[in-house]
Homo-oligomer: A and B are copies of this chain.
Amino acid sequence: MKLYNYFRSSAAYRVRIALNLKGISWQHVGVHLLKAQHRAPEYLKLNPAGLVPTLVADDGAVLTQSLAIMEYLDDANLGDKPLLPPDPVDRAHVRGLALALACDVHPLNNVRVLNYITGELGASDAQKSAWLAHWMTLGLEAFEKTLAQSGSSGRFCFGDQPTMADCVLVPQMFSARRFNVDVSPYPRLVAIDEHCSTLPAFISAHPKNQPDFSP
């Protein structure tokens, strides 16, 4: 499998974790966002939205959207471990956690949106930081409360096995720290993130361990 990705993209980072957790071997194809490689005609043929990641499966199938790619890995029974639990309500709970960050936090804090608010809307550096902190804080706070109310988190977001929710949480925590958002009010998230950070699947997916990494 080929994963078209960018070391710092949260969405790509999610899929790297998922592939690693399942023990699927994959090839890293760099799409440098700051060099506008996601706007190159060849890449737009694979991914008309010009976003990362794109997965090209061994049979040539082209898949976009990180959560759809993770679902595909489960649906096609690829690799060792499912990323979702078997019970329908539990599955909805785990998907709800993943979507809470993928829909309500990440889309507000990615590069293209930050460029728009500082460019077209003339936001200052302080306003940009406040924007980032606002949406991340709202999202992480709700995530922590959801875990607390569910009573079903453990070493991971759902019990003691990693799921799709952890694949989304860990990149979001990385992003929060990168932008100096205080994560200490979210003890469950900090503990889960810390546990994940000791596991090879997560370590190997970290932005700093990608071939296209630059500081």
Contact = CB atoms under 8 A, between A and B. Distances in A.
B99 A67 contact: yes
A34 interface: no
B100 A103 contact: no
A104 B168 CA distance: 16
Contacts of A51: 104
Contact of A65 (B95, B107, B130, B145): B95
Given A107-B104, A121-B121, A61 B89 contact: yes
A121 to B, nearest CB: 5
Interface in A37-53: 45, 48-51
A145 B76 CA distance: 26
A87 B123 CA distance: 46
Interface stretch (A112-120, A153-161, A192-200): A112-120
A71 B108 CA distance: 24
B48 A72 contact: no
A125 interface: no
Given A48-B149, A68-B95, A76-B88, A117 B120 contact: no
A146 interface: yes
B103 A49 contact: no
A19 interface: no
